[in-house]
Structure 1
């Protein structure tokens, strides 16, 4: 390769590396959804099983799912909070159409006494891998 071609290649590579605009960074921001659920206390065991199956399947098979965390309030275990993070809004919309999400929704719809969905805006997202022992 001639020196001029090498310089052109290097210049092109440098331009690519340093050309991230605010718009490009915005496009790469993950899509975050928060769900606040209140579950019928008499159906918590069935709900727990359904959400475990739905979450583990989604994380395992959907490339656009970055994280799904479901927790219950310590003093009110029937109040469940779900943190969802996707590569983008399109991945979230695709998730809503999957067979495993539809099964989860169909199974749990009558168990959920109230549902509030909130869009989140990432400020800082950091995590370490954690293994939580299975309960039940």
Structure 2
């Protein structure tokens, strides 16, 4: 699995537009891409323009395919001027089996 947290800072003037575009991209990604486990956008409560996106892909190939999709390319090009900073932090699960249990709970 490939696990990543994207740390994004958005220019305040573009925050609402960015959030709308990101929501559309995340929804399309989860709906259309079988190799994407999740794209889960969040924002800091005390710093609204600091976005965090939890990205989990089945493997490196799923991530590479995601980067070529029309919905990701639209997101990337339409938000480029909105993003003040972007940091991609690769992560490693401490307990991969626990992840399966977490996602099973969502089906309750």
Q: Greater CA radius of gyration, 1 or 2?
A: 1
SS in 2 for 1:109: helix
Confirm or deny that 1:54 pairs with 2:21: no
Q: Which runs of 5+ in 2 are unaligned?
A: none
Q: Number of aligned pairs? A: 101
SS in 1 for 2:55: strand
2: CA distance, partners of 1:42 / 1:35 = 20
d(CA) in 2 for partners of 1:39 and 1:92? 23
C-alpha distance in structure 2 between counterparts of 1:58 and 1:67, whole Å: 8
Name stretches of at least 5 consecutive residues in structure 1 with no aligned partner. 1-29, 131-136
Q: Which residue of 2 aligns with 1:74?
A: 45
TM-score normalised according to structure 2 size: 0.89
Q: CA deviation at 1:78?
A: 0.1
- Look up the match of 1:119: 90
Query: As a proportion of its length, which structure holds more strand?
Result: 2
Determine helix, strand or coil for the equivalent of 1:115: strand
Q: Which has the higher contact order (CA 8 A, sep 6+)?
A: 2
How far the C-alpha of 1:122 sits from its partner, in A, is: 1.4
Q: Normalising by structure 1, what TM-score? A: 0.71
| Residues 59-86 of structure 1 deviation map (CA, whole Å, 9 limit, x = unaligned) | 0000001011110000000000000001
**Aligned Cα root-mean-square deviation (Å):** 1.2
